[in-house]
Amino acid sequence: MSWQDVYQSKLTTAKDAVKHIESGNRVVVGHACSEPLALVDAMVANKDQYKDVEIVHMVAMGKSEYAKPEMAPHFRHNALFVGGTTRKAVNEARADYTPCFFTEIPRLFKEEYLPVDVALIQVSRPDEHGYCSFGLSSDYTKPASECAKIVIAEVNDQMPRTMGSFIHISEIDHIVETSYPIIELQPPKIGEIEKAIGENCAKLVEDGATLQLGIGAIPDAVLLFLKDKKDLGIHSEMFSDGVVELVEAGVINNKKKTLHEGKMIVTFLMGTKRLYDFVHNNPTVELHPVDYVNNPCVVMQNENIISINSCIQVDLMGQIVSESIGLKQFSGVGGQVDYIRGASMAKRGKSIIAIPSTASKGKVSRIAPFIDEGSAVTTSRNDVHYVVTEYGIAQLRGKSLKERGRALINIAHPDFRPMLIEEWERRFDTKFE
Ligand code: COA
């Protein structure tokens, strides 16, 4: 039988496909902008057929209706990252959060800490050999598909065909053809504070560096200040539209990369149609599973790699809280520690935590004497390297507790420095100079 015949034999509707999910199953949903929206909608519509179906997902960009209170008898959400559509459910204890480094999520599936019953995924149309690209998400989506007892795939003719991660038609159990625009993430607004932070971070980026950037206004602001740099490369969890401009300007050319020279390596992508057109059939962009891309032992092979991430709070010892505000789970660890570890092990590597000096419209200092009660430390004080705000750069590696406290106070918002100095002087029984 040709792969085309196999494909035809597996075609079904979303409504029928989700009937293969059974009560008590664990269902892993394709990640971020690759979320298979038609399958998720059909699964929610079919809720009366299910009891206690566990939905495992990370950055949820769809409606997350399975996390609504009225869905409780049918679904329970197990979040590997918490976002706008799932935060309320997690913090009201109607959904769970499972802490795990992004690079280790595939192990949860492969080593059966979380055995996968069903993977709901979205892929590109098959090529002439019958291979569909994982499009915008290889990360845990590909490993989950390899472990699942049943793979149900939306084949969306608008999903870009990216390089690196493919699934053959023979490995999919049920196929649903769809055609709708892929979820987009609009570029964030970049204000004056983000610009000042971006400019400070850019001072640490040397020509020939390889970059890892997170999501949001600060990473995008950094890119604005890299236009005069040369020969930059990308090895990152993800990238967004901002990178495309620097590639087109010849600033990012990946020529000096010491691993995957000439290629941008990522595990997922989020952006607008502009990004999706750029990565479609682009041989210089490769997506691979997150247990490879984010593995610190892989990251460290990129000499001169510089990772840029953000946080919620940092105390005077350099402990970084990035995912919770007190007991409230705000987001997740994501790839932050994967890259901080990888960059610190790499030759000439640097890791940056870049933050506005205050939060809550200037009412709270993000640099605090102590972390809030209930907060989780995301990056330990042993791993922290640079902290950057709009007021400057604090280099903490190799610095004593006393020295790092002083360096952090010097980049705090001036309104909060007296309070921080008082705490520093009390702790070290020394006059602050
Ligand atoms: N005390 C009280 N509230 C705080 C706070 C603090 N110290 N720090 C932040 N907040 C509030 C903000 O005021 C804001 O509330 P609002 O939306 O009501 O204004 C909210 O928390 C979010 O803060 P903000 O810093 O604007 O969020 P962000 O969207 O820029 O995301 C992180 C910042 C740290 C949450 C995000 O980078 C993250 O999740 N990091 C961990 C994962 C990671 O690094 N992945 C790496 C690769 S993608």
pLDDT for residue 369 is more than 90: yes
**How confident is the model at residue 214, as a pLDDT?**
84
Residues 224 and 251 in one domain: yes
**How confident is the model at residue 215, as a pLDDT?**
82
Residues 346 and 252 in one domain: yes
Q: Which range of residues forms the domain containing residue 7? A: 3-178
Residue having the nearest C-alpha atom to atom 47 of ligand 1: 214
Question: In whole angstroms, how far apart are CA 15 and each of 19, 99, 217, 412?
Answer: 7, 33, 39, 54
Burial of 203 (0-12, 13-18, 19+ CB in 10 A): exposed
Ligand 1 binding pocket (C-beta < 6 A) is 214-216, 237, 309-313, 322-323, 325, 330-331, 333-336, 359-360, 364, 366
- CATH number for the domain spanning 423: value is 3.40.1080.20
Residue having the nearest C-alpha atom to atom 24 of ligand 1: 312
Q: Is residue 185 part of a domain?
A: no
Residues 204 and 115 in one domain: no
From 143, 178, 213, the end of a domain falls on: 178
**How confident is the model at residue 393, as a pLDDT?**
98
Condensed to tens digits (0 to 9), the pLDDT of residues 229-259 reads: 999 999 999 999 999 999 999 999 999 999 9
Contacts of 313 (CB under 8 A, 6+ apart): 320, 321, 325, 366, 367, 368, 371, 372, 375
Only one residue has tokens 């989020």, namely: 270
pLDDT for residue 154 is more than 90: yes
pLDDT > 90 in the chain, percent: 99
Residue having the nearest C-alpha atom to atom 26 of ligand 1: 359
Q: Is residue 187 part of a domain?
A: no
Residues 259 and 318 in one domain: yes
Q: Is residue 23 part of a domain?
A: yes
Q: Report the mean per-residue pLDDT for the chain.
A: 97
- Best mutation site among 193, 360, 375 for ligand 1 pocket (most ligand atoms within 8 Å of CB): 360
Q: Is residue 351 part of a domain?
A: yes
Indicate which atom in ligand 1 lies nearest the CA of residue 365. 7
Q: CB neighbours (10 Å) of residue 412? A: 24
Q: Is residue 39 part of a domain?
A: yes
Condensed to tens digits (0 to 9), the pLDDT of residues 2-35 reads: 999 999 999 999 999 999 999 999 999 999 999 9
**How confident is the model at residue 216, as a pLDDT?**
86
- CATH number for the domain spanning 95: value is 3.40.1080.10
**How confident is the model at residue 168, as a pLDDT?**
98
Q: What is the mean pLDDT of residues 199-214?
A: 97
Q: Is residue 184 part of a domain?
A: no
pLDDT for residue 413 is more than 90: yes
237 is catalytic: yes
Confidence band for 159, pLDDT divided at 50, 70 and 90: very high
Condensed to tens digits (0 to 9), the pLDDT of residues 316-347 reads: 999 999 999 999 999 999 999 999 999 999 99
Q: How far is the CA of 296 from the centre of ligand 1 (A)?
A: 24
Residues 137 and 264 in one domain: no
Catalytic residue among 154, 194, 237, 390: 237
Beta strands in 235-310 (DSSP E): 238-239, 264-266, 268-269, 285-287, 305-309
Residues 249 and 100 in one domain: no
Q: How far is the CA of 325 from the centre of ligand 1 (A)?
A: 9
Confidence band for 63, pLDDT divided at 50, 70 and 90: very high
Residues 139 and 235 in one domain: no
Q: Is residue 228 part of a domain?
A: yes
**How confident is the model at residue 433, as a pLDDT?**
83
Q: How many domains in the chain?
A: 2
Residues 168 and 199 in one domain: no
Residues 106 and 214 in one domain: no
Residues 121 and 263 in one domain: no
Residues 81 and 215 in one domain: no
Residue having the nearest C-alpha atom to atom 44 of ligand 1: 336
Q: How far is the CA of 60 from the centre of ligand 1 (A)?
A: 17
Residues 59 and 148 in one domain: yes
